[in-house]
Amino acid sequence: MATGILFDDMFLVKDVDPEGKKFDRVSRLFCDSESFKMELILDVNTQLYPMNLNDKFRLLLATTLRDDGLPDEREFDNQV
């Protein structure tokens, strides 16, 4: 899926909840990117996506989830 990609990089979790946990199921991750040398602060539901110190993850932002790059339909069609 190369078409429609706005951003794609790997991140390393450098710190988790440095100011303490605010919510039971959410952690605040402080991360550094590998390619673009940028910092990211990301709040994650750790019940769904458990993340720990020094974990790596890929963040990809795209305009569509379709392989052909066309815009997504405005309504869900379970026949597709």
* 3-39 residue pLDDT tens: 788 999 999 999 999 999 999 999 999 999 999 889 9
Return the residue matching tokens 């069609």: 77
- The residue type of 12 is L
Mean pLDDT confidence for 64-72: 77
Contact between residue 33 and residue 52 where contact means Cβ atoms under 8 Å apart: no
Residue 80's pLDDT band (cuts 50, 70, 90):
low
pLDDT, residue 72, reads: 74
pTM of the model: 0.79
Burial 22-32 (b: 16+ CB within 10 A, else e): eeeeebbbbbe
